[in-house]
Every structure is written in structure tokens, then in C-alpha cells.
Copies of this chain bind each other. A is one copy, B any other.
Amino acid sequence: MTFLTFPESKLRSFTEQVFLKMGCPETDAQLAADVLLRSDLRGIDSHGVARLVGYVRLWEKKRINATPNVRVVHETATTAAVDGDAGLGLVVAPFAMKVAIEKAKTYGTGWVSVKNSNHFGIAGYHALLATEHDMIGISMTNASPLVAPTYANERLLGTNPMCYAFPAGKYPPVVVDMATSAAANGKLEIAQRAKQPIPEGWAQDKDGRPSTDPDQLKAGGSLLPLGGDKAHGSHKGYGLGATVDILSAVLSGANYGPWVPPFVAFLEPPADPVGEGIGHFFGAMRVDGFRPAADFKHHLDNWIETFRNARPVDPAQPVIIPGAPETEFEHERKLHGIPLIDAVVNDLNVLAEKLGVKKL
């Protein structure tokens, strides 16, 4: 596997050009590129520009609307339902998060459930928008079914990530951003390419038996909820995935459970939808709605120092503050560029040629 390293600015400009070629308005193209680039900067390579080809394919299939009329369709002082009009989740999600933030400015908190959207990139991007306003940010999304609930031999839930972001004082925000499955699909794909076994508890085969073979997912198997099996708490991972599904889709009018449309364009969405598109959920809470922001940040700094300095099992591996590795990646990659696997660069250049964009 060879890596090619690009300056952020070059990848950003390339990505904007691709979205413009899809017909996105300029501000939308810039925003969507910003979401993907921030993922690459933060070291979450699976959700960055490597996905660009996938978004274009969905647009070619007319499953993504490049010029959506994203709008609030129902609201109270602190709640709203947003219709994404089949737009890029990368554009719909920041719109919805901003609605939540504006409500929080006036009323203390804001909460938005979204239907008729598509894949929104990393959950952390959206939650972090709130921390810039001294608010706690919450974001989650459902996703196409790959995960079997505890005791099931059927894929009914996506990897359904949830994210909580908290603004600190001296330190970067604490960001808990996690799939509710035992492992994200990207980790299985890495094991597939490397032809290496996966840990028990990540997946089961088509008969519902635990399996360490990463190819079983494609052969009719399922991912497993966080916990892996009942004895290790998989009913909790299942419960969290269910929570994300209900807040994102049952609450907004999006598709849920087995009806969530697939991200990959070669699979058709279910013919009997129970809602529109995929669903997200966002929240913003003003810290000073509970106590002065300076007090909160002072104590969160103390929390961070306490956990970071905890006695480690192995002195060579200190305890990690959620979000800290991503912040380090962001500093490093802003300075030294973003490494992409040659296969990803190749895919992007094929795309560039097709759309008439200057190659990387």
C-alpha cells in the first residue's frame, strides 16, 4: 500500500470542484468539501474524500439532489423537524445544526430531527459547530442496516454513530464520537484487504454464529452491536443503536431499521419505504444555561487532566481523552498534508477525468 500526501488546500479545491460539477451551489460545495476535509484532517480517512466517489454515484442515480430546498417543516421554540429534500447530508446536517444553535441562543437549548437526507460524514463535525458557541453539541445519524440486534440473525440497524462534544478551557473539546456497533464497517474492510482475522464479537456469519472471518459480512452475515454478545453487554449496544434510529428517523419521518436506504449506489433502496431518506438528530445546549461557562470549562479542564494522568496499565500507553487523537491529527495534517492510499487517488483521478476536473 503506497500513500501519496497532498496539502489540505489542494484536496479542498479538488473536492469543491467535484461538488460544483454535480451542480451544487458554490456555498454548498464549499461546505460539503469542508466536512469531508475535516474528516481527513482528523485522521478519519474512511469518511473523508475517499467517499467522494460514492456521493457522486448516488447523485448519478438521482438519489442525491444537488440543489435541495432544505427547510424546517415543523417547529416549537426549541424543536424542529427538517426536510433535507434529498440533499447531501454534508449540507443538510450543518443546516440543521445551525437551527439547533440559533434556538439555543434564545431558549438555552435547540433540538432538530432530520428526514430525507443522505450520509452526513463524521458526526463530530456537526457536534463541534456547537462548541464554538460555548454549547454542548450532540449529533447522530442512522445508516443502512448492517448490524443484527442481540439474538437476531437479520441486519436491522446501521452502525448508527452518536457524538457528544463538550467545550473545554485550556484544552480542545472533549469529543465522544462512536459507532454503536462493536466495530465500524471500515475496520472490517481493512481486515478484508489484509486477509487477517477480526476479533470475536465484531461479526456473525449468515447462520448467526460468531465469526472471525472478515468476509462473512459480504456472505450474508451481520456486524454485531457494541458488546458483541449478551454476556458482554451487546443488548446495550443494540439499545444505543435503537436510540439513534428512533431519534433520527421515527421522530423525523425518515426511514428506520431495515428500510434505511444503502449508501452504495449499486444497491437499490427498499421498494416499500416507511419514510423519506435517512435521518439525523442534533442538539445544542448552552453551557451557561446550567452554570457559568468559565466554571464549566475550569472543571472540564480538571476532568481532562485527571483522566489523562490516570495510572496506566502500561506506562507506554497513557489514557486517552476522547477526541484528543483527532486534534493531534488535525495539527499534524494541517502542517504536513493529508496522506491518501494510491487506490483512493486513482479513483479520484478517474472521477476527475469523467467530470472534467483537473486531476490530483
Contacts and interface: CB of A to CB of B under 8 A. Distances in A.
Given A76-B286, A176-B243, A180-B236, 6 more contacts: A78-B109, A78-B289, A109-B111, A164-B243, A240-B240, A242-B307
Nearest to A177: B239
Contacts of A257: 303, 306-307
Contact of A312 (B151, B226, B253, B286): B151
Contact of A322 (B208, B239, B313, B322): B239
Given A151-B318, A227-B227, A307 B156 contact: yes
B228 A232 contact: yes
Interface string A246-262: 11001111001110000
A287 B238 CA distance: 22
A275 interface: yes
Interface string A47-59: 0000000000000
Contact of A290 (B226, B252, B319): B252
Nearest to A285: B111
A174 interface: yes
A121 to B, nearest CB: 19
Interface residues of A, number: 89
Contacts of A302: 274
A274 B299 contact: yes
Interface string A145-183: 000111111101000000010100000001010111011
Interface in A260-316: 274-275, 285-287, 289-291, 295-296, 299-300, 302-303, 306-307, 310-314
Contacts of A296: 250-251
A113 interface: yes
Nearest to A82: B290
A320 B242 CA distance: 12
Given A77-B108, A242-B176, A250 B306 contact: no
A233 interface: yes
A231 interface: yes
A317 interface: yes
A263 B186 CA distance: 42
Nearest to A111: B109
A291 B74 contact: yes
